Structure 1
Amino acid sequence: MKSLDLMKTIKRFQADELLEYYVYIKIARFVKDKNDRDILLKIAGEEQKHYGIWKQYTKCDVKPNMLLVYWYVILARILGYTFIIKKMENSVIEFKEVFSGKLEKELTEKIPDLKIILQDETEHENELIDMIDEEKLRYAGSMVLGLNDALVEFTGSLAGWTFAMQSNRLISLAGLITGIAATMSMASSEYLSVKNDDGKNALKSSLYTGAAYLVTVVILILPYLLLPDKGYLAALLIMLAAVILIIAAFNYYISVARSISFKKKFLEMSLISLSVAGASFVIGLLVKRFLGLDI
């Protein structure tokens, strides 16, 4: 590798260390759990130390992308700090991929302290995994339950109604009534299930389940509410596209926060939801044809 390219790589690592330092410090300010907060501050200090090690070799200061720092902090408040921490620590994987072959030899020759940085980064990852006890992730199972049921059941219902009713107004009406009733049913079932299991946080579990179900229902009904009455085919296609996007977004969140395979869970949920929608679509078509219903 050319000396210029190597220096550019080192400066990038240097800037990343400083960016992570600022993000950890700012996230620690609103983390309520003292143990989590202390770990974040400890790791922030080590990131600052790593920045100093890189600086010994670049002989210059670099500035982090502060817009990216604030963006990460905002996302941490919305999506949870565990998600953002895991996403940032994924950069360690990229670091290790770069730190191989000829580059490893060149970097080690120029930076004897590199082994220390790698060891610290590995310890960071282990500490961060151990510290995960965030409420948003504790109730991820409840959100998965609400989201999955809404996608499977409601996608199938809307697909079936599309050809049975062939009217966006009627489909929206049926969808809203069914969706609200199903939301209350799901939340109640989750409450009773948790209550009978261990009795702890049954209300919160039911609220997370119900919220995930209701939000999904609203998103899936929107195309039928917004498009003209006879634009049911377009509404169906938009609804199915929304299903794929919801599945992709949620599974990406869970895959990063819990370090599980995105591809496997995404394909699994997509296949189930779209298969049910396809079957319901055919059932709706057959019901309309053979029962002679004309709404």
Structure 2
Amino acid sequence: MNDNDFKKMILNLQSNEITGREIYRSISENIKDPHNKSLLIEIAEEELVHYSIYKKYTSEDVDPDKKKVMLYTILSKIFGYIFTIRLLEREEDRALEILRDPDIADSVLDTKAIREQEEEHEEKLISMLNEEKVSYISSIILGLNDALVEITGSLAGFTFALQNTRIIALSGLITGIAASLSMAFSQYLAEKSAGKHNYIKASLYTGITYFVTVLLLIMPFLFFPDNMYGAALAVTLFIVIIVIFIFTFYISIVKKVNFKQRFLEMLAISIGVTIFSFLLGIIAKKLLGIDI
């Protein structure tokens, strides 16, 4: 590696560190919990230390990437700071791979210290996993998974049996409201029986997640003409894939689970139930001789 390439790479690492510092500081300003706030500020200052180490080799100052800082700050407000920090840490892990390059490791003597400090970040971050969104993630998963499987399956069955988008939407909405209330009360009783203190919030997260998912799934049937029930179902299935993709990505970042395995598993269950329910709708219509 020539001197110009080496300097360019170190400048890039230097930029990542100062940008990371500004992101941590920006996120910390929106956190009320004193422990989490102080922890983020501490990590931000470590990033500044790493920045100073790289500066010894470049003899240049680098400005933070303001667009990136703004993006991560917005993400923290939408998806929560745990998700955003984990996403940032994953990006920093890629930087660690660069630091393991023999050419850089031999040239930058302080890389071992930087790697050790970077790896400690994740251990520290584990202690701050007490954000409400993350604390109730199991309740959200329960509501989302059940809604995706049950309502998608119901809509598929209704599609062939009823063959009218308005009637399908109405049937799906009634089924969804009843199911969301049932899920919320079931979660309430389960959490309370287990002796957990926040059983009311847990049940609300489950019920609300279920109901919001129901609204997303029946939406195509409200917009398509009465006779375009097949197209409405196709759009609903597309929404199912998008919802599963986004939620699985969120879980894979926050809980550090395998994205591909989790995504394919959820998708296979949802699509499998949909196909079965669609066939069931065909059989039920023929057996009962109902023509709507």
Map of 2:280 onto structure 1:
283
Map of 1:264 onto structure 2:
261
Alpha-carbon distance between aligned partners in 2 of 1:270 and 1:72, rounded to the nearest angstrom: 28
Alpha-carbon distance between aligned partners in 1 of 2:118 and 2:2, rounded to the nearest angstrom: 26
Map of 1:51 onto structure 2:
51
Query: Which amino acid in the other structure matches residue 18 of structure 1?
Result: I
Partner of 1:32: helix, strand, or coil? coil
Aligned length: 292
Tell me the alpha carbon deviations over residues 239-293 of structure 1, each in whole angstroms, 9 at most, x when there is no partner: 1111111111101001101111111111111111110000000010111122211
Alpha-carbon distance between aligned partners in 2 of 1:169 and 1:253, rounded to the nearest angstrom: 33
Map of 1:115 onto structure 2:
112
Tell me the alpha carbon deviations over residues 122-151 of structure 1, each in whole angstroms, 9 at most, x when there is no partner: 111211122212111110000000000000
Partner of 1:131: helix, strand, or coil? coil
Map of 2:236 onto structure 1:
239
1:208 aligned onto 2:205: yes
Alpha-carbon distance between aligned partners in 2 of 1:53 and 1:99, rounded to the nearest angstrom: 13
Name the stretch that deviates more: 88-97 or 139-148.
88-97
Name the stretch that deviates more: 10-19 or 28-37.
28-37
- Maintained 8 Å contact 2:162/2:168: yes
Alpha-carbon distance between aligned partners in 1 of 2:137 and 2:196, rounded to the nearest angstrom: 18
Could you tell me which runs of 5 or more consecutive residues in structure 2 were left unpaired when the two chains were aligned.
Answer: none
Partner of 1:253: helix, strand, or coil? helix
1:75 aligned onto 2:71: no
Map of 2:156 onto structure 1:
159
Alpha-carbon distance between aligned partners in 1 of 2:2 and 2:214, rounded to the nearest angstrom: 55
Query: Which amino acid in the other structure matches residue 3 of structure 1?
Result: D
Query: Which amino acid in the other structure matches residue 88 of structure 1?
Result: L
Alpha-carbon distance between aligned partners in 1 of 2:88 and 2:289, rounded to the nearest angstrom: 58
Map of 1:133 onto structure 2:
130
Q: TM-score, normalised by structure 1?
A: 0.96
Question: Quick one: percent identity of the two aligned structures?
Answer: 46
Query: Which amino acid in the other structure matches residue 281 of structure 2?
Result: G
Paired residues for 1:184-203 under 5 Å: 184-203=181-200
Tell me the alpha carbon deviations over residues 56-95 of structure 1, each in whole angstroms, 9 at most, x when there is no partner: 1112122222122112112112211110111101123212
Alpha-carbon distance between aligned partners in 2 of 1:152 and 1:95, rounded to the nearest angstrom: 39
Deviation of 1:41 after TM superposition, in Å, equals: 0.7
Query: Which amino acid in the other structure matches residue 204 of structure 1?
Result: K
Alpha-carbon distance between aligned partners in 1 of 2:23 and 2:6, rounded to the nearest angstrom: 26
1:30 aligned onto 2:26: no
Alpha-carbon distance between aligned partners in 2 of 1:59 and 1:110, rounded to the nearest angstrom: 15
Tell me the alpha carbon deviations over residues 37-71 of structure 1, each in whole angstroms, 9 at most, x when there is no partner: 11111100010111111111112122222122112
Name the stretch that deviates more: 216-225 or 59-68.
59-68
Alpha-carbon distance between aligned partners in 1 of 2:42 and 2:142, rounded to the nearest angstrom: 36
Deviation of 1:111 after TM superposition, in Å, equals: 1.6
* Root-mean-square deviation (Å): 1.2
Could you tell me which runs of 5 or more consecutive residues in structure 1 were left unpaired when the two chains were aligned.
Answer: none
Alpha-carbon distance between aligned partners in 1 of 2:4 and 2:164, rounded to the nearest angstrom: 64
Query: Which amino acid in the other structure matches residue 38 of structure 2?
Result: D
Alpha-carbon distance between aligned partners in 1 of 2:199 and 2:170, rounded to the nearest angstrom: 31
Partner of 1:204: helix, strand, or coil? helix
Tell me the alpha carbon deviations over residues 157-205 of structure 1, each in whole angstroms, 9 at most, x when there is no partner: 0000000000001001111111111111111111111111114111100
Query: Which amino acid in the other structure matches residue 256 of structure 1?
Result: I
Map of 1:99 onto structure 2:
99
Alpha-carbon distance between aligned partners in 2 of 1:199 and 1:86, rounded to the nearest angstrom: 27
Q: TM-score, normalised by structure 2?
A: 0.97
Query: Which amino acid in the other structure matches residue 198 of structure 2?
Result: N
1:229 aligned onto 2:189: no
